[in-house]
Amino acid sequence: MIYRLLLFFLLLLMGCQAGAASTATPIPSATAAIPNLAAATTPWVRAPQISTSAPPPAPAASPTAPPGVTTTPTPTATLAPPTAVPTAPPTPVPPTPVPPPAPPVPAYGYPIGRPGRLPGAGFFVRHGYQVENTWFNPGYWHTGEDWYAREGDTAGAQVYAIAAGTVVYVGANYPGRVVIVEQDDGLFSMYGHLDPAVAVQVDQRVRRGDLLGTILRRSDDVPNHLHFEVRTFLTSREVNGAAPRYGFRCGVQCPPGPGYWPIGAPDLPSDMGWRNPTHVINNRMFPPDAGAPLAEVQVVAQPVAQAVTLWSAPPGAEQTATGELPLQPEARFPLLAVWTGPENSRGTSAEAYQLWYRIGLPDGGSGWVPALVASDFETGGDGRPATLFFHFVPVMGAAGSEPGA
């Protein structure tokens, strides 16, 4: 009985499996070919680990047009290469302008002037250096320069130190007071016929352009003027020292000295230590290595000529006339160079003076011009000129209390 029941259930089970096989779609699997239940049982296997990384995106499917419909392929956009943005060139930074060198400060200037005017302007040298002063002291060489006003009285005109130095003498009755300055370069400058109310005292330091005093108003018949000397000595044994050679009134140990030297002497004033003042002033006005322009020069207010000749070079070189320069009163020109005769000049008339300026011209060129001219307004005993008139005077820079600076 029991065997029959087991056989029944076995046949029933096999029938159910056959029915299922007839309706199910076969799955191509390796386990489907196993003919028994035991072979169909698959052991437990650990499931594969799922990666957390996102899978790469699948390529997009190309659209498929329905039958009979023509599609135009969508053009693939082509990206143009990036357009380079033009870069502006760097703005050039202009170099810092270098100012031209300042003109050199003049070391020397003229000894006389009026307030508000340039030193030397409005004056002339009536009796020059080493000329014969026939109307006052014939037979003698003049050892300095006598400066007079072109117009009006010279009395009251201001007297200036021509260079930096120390006052070493104030005194005398020349007539009038005398001031002597020992300059820093070793020369001595002397200023005679000053009003007693001088502006300086012994041992006082002065600069070029400092006021020394004013011109005396004399009580004799001699016109008021400045007697001005430049020399290498304060006292010299043979001139005004312990044993003067000649019996001048201002002789033994008299610092002002005589102011004259005999024409018959075996030596000239230049041999005894006096110097041509105008040559000294202009020769030492600027250092030799000073660059141009040095300063300016101004035509005097009353030129004695309407024009001067322009030259290619100063005396001593081959000169060629290059034109004429009208002398417009108080016109100014750049001063480019200075040429003078020797300080210990040998000439014995105003014609021995040599002073030339190279000036800049309005057209951009340049030329050499004589800065002064000899005149027979006064003459020596031989009829040669003893007077000097200026065409130009330097425009001085600031120094001391110099007017016109």
Distance CA(345)–CA(342), nearest Å, equals 5
Contact 213, 228 (CB under 8 A): no
Task: Give the Å distances, CA to CA, from 223 to 67, 136, 331, 377.
Answer: 137, 11, 31, 15
Query: Comparing C-alpha atoms, which of 245, 273, 282, 303 is closest to residue 144?
Result: 273
Q: Of how many residues is the chain composed?
A: 405
The domains located in the chain, with CATH, are 112-395 (2.70.70.10)
Query: Comparing C-alpha atoms, which of 6, 26, 120 is closest to residue 404?
Result: 120
3 state SS for 148-207: EECCCCCCCCEEECCCCEEEEEEECCCCCEEEEEEECCCCEEEEEEECCCCCCCCCCEEC
Distance CA(247)–CA(262), nearest Å, equals 11
State which H helix or E strand residue 79 sits in. Answer: none
Residue 397: predicted pLDDT: 60
Note if the pTM is more than 0.85. Answer: no
| Residue 348: CA count within 13 A, CB half-sphere | 19
- Hey, what's the torsion of the CAs at 309, 313, 314, 318, to 10 degrees? -110
Report DSSP state, residue 83.
Answer: P
User: Long-range contacts for 149-155 (Cβ within 8 Å, ≥24 apart)?
Assistant: 149/122, 149/123, 150/122, 150/123, 150/124, 150/302, 151/122, 151/302, 153/217, 153/224, 154/123, 154/215, 154/223, 154/224, 154/225, 154/226, 155/214, 155/215, 155/216, 155/217, 155/218, 155/224
Residue 131: predicted pLDDT: 97
Query: Comparing C-alpha atoms, which of 244, 270, 268 is closest to residue 256?
Result: 244
**Judging by beta carbons within 10 Å of its beta carbon (0-12, 13-18, 19+), is residue 72 exposed, middle or buried?**
exposed
Residue 100: predicted pLDDT: 67
Burial state string for 349-382 with b = 16 or more CB within 10 A and e = fewer than 16: bbebbbbbbbbbeeeeebbbbbbbbbbebbbbee
Residue 241: predicted pLDDT: 97
List the beta strands (DSSP E) in 77-164. Answer: 112-113, 123-127, 140-142, 145-149, 158-160
- Hey, what's the torsion of the CAs at 367, 123, 347, 335, to 10 degrees? -20
Residue 98: predicted pLDDT: 73
**Judging by beta carbons within 10 Å of its beta carbon (0-12, 13-18, 19+), is residue 105 exposed, middle or buried?**
middle
Residue 239: predicted pLDDT: 97
Distance CA(160)–CA(191), nearest Å, equals 9
Q: What is the mean pLDDT of each run of 10 residues along the chain (405 residues)?
A: 52 47 41 38 39 47 47 50 64 76 88 96 97 90 97 97 98 93 98 98 98 95 95 97 95 95 97 98 94 94 96 94 97 97 97 98 96 96 96 76 42
